[in-house]
Amino acid sequence: MQNIRNIAIIAHVDHGKTTLVDKILHSTNVFRENQDTGDLIMDNNDQERERGITIFSKNVSVEYKGVKINVIDTPGHADFGGEVERVLKMADGVILLVDAFEGPMPQTRFVLHKALQLGLKPLVVINKVDKPNCRPDEVHDAVFELFFNLDATEEQLEFPTFYGSSKQGWFNTENVPTEDISPLLDGILEHVPAPEVSEGSLQIQITSLDYSSFLGRIAVGKVARGTIKEGQWVALVKPDRSITKQKVKELFTFEGLGKKKTNEVNAGDICAVVGMDKFQIGDTIADAENPEALANIKIDEPTMNMSFGINNSPFFGKDGKFVTSRHLVERLEAELEKNLALRVEPTDDSNTYLVYGRGIMHLSVLIETMRREGYELTVGQPQVIIKEIDGEKCEPYETLVIDVPQDYASKAIDLVTQRKGDLLIMEAKGESQHLEFDIPSRGLIGLRSQMLTATAGEAVMAHRFSEYKPLKGKIPGRLAGVLISKDQGVSTPYSIDKLQDRGKFFIDPGEEVYTGMIIGEHSRDNDLVVNVVEAKKLNNIRAAGKDDSNAIAPKINMSLEECMEYIQGDECIEVTPNFIRLRKIFLKEEDRKRQQKVLEAK
């Protein structure tokens, strides 16, 4: 048992977790000397590489001085907190990684709180000390204060601190460059305890799922006590305490970036179990004769929902493979098995479902994944979840942190206060201003794009859920109206050129449009129906002037998240494998007017 260490790496997004895991893999000779591995080895999902963030937690195992170290790389974004909460159950210690300039950020606090509650032994790593304007000593004091505020025990407060740079590949306790990261690896062996094992029969809690086209579904978890063997009969205990007897066909432990087949796994190690069925995250694999369940995994509640429905636009079925409501519900049910922070509820319309998640990024990653798999769907405006507490309507509030150059601080404060945010902290941090707000989650929808525009792209924003508080008044939404297509067809340069003074376009000439599709942003606050498919009338007289099509401004490109933040209650997004289109829910203008009268009558 002394030869295993299970450690999770936690940090705020972009503080260097995945780069640190890369260095651990290289320094423990997982790869051949001449092997080209590239950067960010653990971020092997397409979306993770494109977005530059970790979305899914992953296990990797290395050997150092005869000790097996199971390293768990966790997401840093608050929307993927559900991933972090369950994988921390496999760890006996945590490396808290903090940027030497930014210091502890909202997600640092959120994840650290979870780790301290589980009684894990922390090591603090202050990363990026090679950056200009870094302040490692101030950051160390801020981390200690954070530990104290989170009610850390005396033992947890005596955390060892390492300074260094993941990028340059060195860490030690003195903030002086060294050859490699071996001081940090020695610190893991010294300070992280070996797994505690209690006497008794077999217990493994399934904390993540894997899939192989050859082996099928695979259950992953830490052996809490006992020993599991290949070919053994075990009991699968559900959260409702129902029990089924099943047989273990194959067993694997983690080795390097892959898995290694084994005959048995002892308590304290992390293993992958093959051959069982109908298991879910949170279930317990227990002894067949004396099954004892472990405590259920508690995951924080979702704070936002969106409607997911089939694509019912005129372009339905042109682009995707999976287009029916049966395809949609099967895919959502499959996602529920591994995405614990997600919830799905049916609505009155059999073709539409309400999907609950942690935030816009949490939901957008799911939509983007489905889009790449060949699904066509329509998603509505994100809505926060309103709860009734002690007879009063309450909404979720978040702690918002903004670091912005001092010249733009007043603009940032103005934008947030317009959205019912209250300024809590304002202090200088190097050459920038550090602002902290308490803001309703509703106020965050659409704030990022406005903030980046107002601060010339200089603002760094982060937020995390804090608590439910009484509902605040109306929050101003989008200031401008939209341009809506009048007819179906192909947009022409002639029409778009003549309409440029009406607003900015989301389409280029030559793109297919349909009635009710949103094709641009109006320069005023009302919606305007325009004809962009009208062609230039031709006659047999040559025009004196040249065609003006080369004067057309380029279209505005919006990402899926930006579209989700942009739309209003009467609008939705059509998502297909190759296109993201904005549209009105009611495509015909007379239907929209009729609906408006119904709403006004209410």
129 annotated to bind ligand? yes
- Between CA 342 and CA 306 the distance in angstroms is 11
Please state whether beta strands 227-229 and 264-266 pair in parallel, antiparallel, or not at all (unpaired): antiparallel
487 annotated to bind ligand? no
15 annotated to bind ligand? yes
Q: What is the DSSP string of 376-391?
A: -EEEE--EEPPEEETT
Neighbours of 65 (CB within 10 A): 11
127 annotated to bind ligand? yes
The neighbouring-strand residues paired with 487 are: none
89 annotated to bind ligand? no
Please state whether beta strands 121-127 and 377-380 pair in parallel, antiparallel, or not at all (unpaired): unpaired
19 annotated to bind ligand? yes
* Cα–Cα nearest to 25, from 75, 68, 72, 60: 60
Tokens encoding 516: 């009710």
Phi/psi for 265 (5° steps) reads -130, 130
Distances (CA, A) of 549 to 5, 332, 505, 518, 583: 65, 44, 14, 21, 25
13 annotated to bind ligand? no
18 annotated to bind ligand? yes
578 annotated to bind ligand? no
324 annotated to bind ligand? no
386, 393 in Cβ contact below 8 A? yes
Phi/psi for 500 (5° steps) reads -65, -30
- Between CA 538 and CA 94 the distance in angstroms is 72
- Between CA 235 and CA 242 the distance in angstroms is 10
Residues 6+ apart with CB under 8 A from 519: 483, 484, 485, 491, 505, 506, 507, 513, 530, 532
Tokens encoding 373: 């798999």
93, 124 in Cβ contact below 8 A? no
> Residues marked as binding?
14-19, 127-130
> Residues marked as binding for GTP?
14-19, 127-130
